[in-house]
Amino acid sequence: MVDISTSIGPLQLKNPTMLASGIMDEDAGSMQRMIDCGAGAIVTKSIGLKPREGYANPTVIELDHGILNAMGLPNPGIELHGDEIKKLRATNVPIIGSIYGADANEFVSLAQKMQQFGANAIELNVSCPHAKHYGLEVGCDPDLLQKIVSSVKQHVSLPVFVKVSPNIMNLAEIVQSIEEAGADAIVAINTVKAMKINLETARPVLANKTGGYSGKAIKPIGVRCVYDIAQAVDLPIIGVGGITTGEDAIEYFMAGASAVQIGSAVYYRGPEVFKSVCDEIKTWMKNHRYTKITELIGAAFR
């Protein structure tokens, strides 16, 4: 009997697949569809204090091996989004509220609202590669990040996860500051900062010029980051980046992840990707005589 349930700190998941923030997660209907298709947990769209329109088009382009986007964190604001989270209170999988802010006070206010609305955990988005004042400017400063995480932990009783960037040189220092601040888990990674230039116009294709690259091409980067983080801290890790198959997920487990988030593959394979990945994990584990996810976690460095 193969058991693919897992845990992230106090959060229990019936399977290790989670919907990543930013796709099919703005309203209750789309999130419920992901649940019905087998997602073990849902991460909401990143939400701020006030409504935000995001950047002008073009904001998303498909490249040969992934997706490049610079959406600019468009969202309806925490009050309106709260109505969507409330509709999912009766669901049987954890709902993780993703939030972004410019300072500790904003993150605390948002986290308290998420808890009030019924979220089961908080994900701090401090790593968006294309959002001025809200992304990497926050996530590359260990002192600011430590203040944010510790402040949120002091004001909510929910597990707090922190999503980190691959676009920084001081990753070990960053995750260690997150651990010291009392976070419950690390989410790795956010998208990779990238650009596409139109050869005919000699201009960047995205209106914002640079964006975040996701999809299969970034999986080796994500796996490396998870492996490095697992050497630096003792926190649970949620792996993100290029996960399309069960074997992709298992590679993340062996690098040190306890669960994985799936985003771009929903676009490529449809919502059924969650069930497919879970089935593929079970088949691989059975064929290789593993019975629990815990037997795989960190196998690459044990």
Residues serving a catalytic function are 128
Q: Residue 121 — φ and ψ, nearest 5°?
A: -165, 165
| Token pair belonging to 218 | 């970034």
Closest CA to 57 of 69, 73, 75: 69
Residue 111 belongs to what H/E stretch? helix 104-117
Which whole-number Å values give the CA distances from 236 to 108, 131, 159, 169, in the listed order? Answer: 22, 27, 12, 21
The string of DSSP letters for 153-185 reads HHH--S-EEEEE-SS-S-HHHHHHHHHHTT-SE
Question: Cα 276–279–283 angle (5° rounding)?
Answer: 135
Instruction: Provide the sign of the torsion angle of the four alpha carbons 268, 16, 172, 300, taken in this order.
Output: negative
Closest CA to 209 of 74, 53, 56: 56
> CB neighbours (10 Å) of residue 51?
14
Can you point out the beta strands (E) in 82-201?
Answer: 95-99, 121-125, 160-164, 185-188, 192-195, 197-198
Strand partners, 97: 122
Q: Residue 277 — φ and ψ, nearest 5°?
A: -65, -40
Q: State the Cα–Cα distance between residues 57 and 119, nearest whole angstrom.
A: 32
Radius of gyration, CA atoms only, the chain: 18
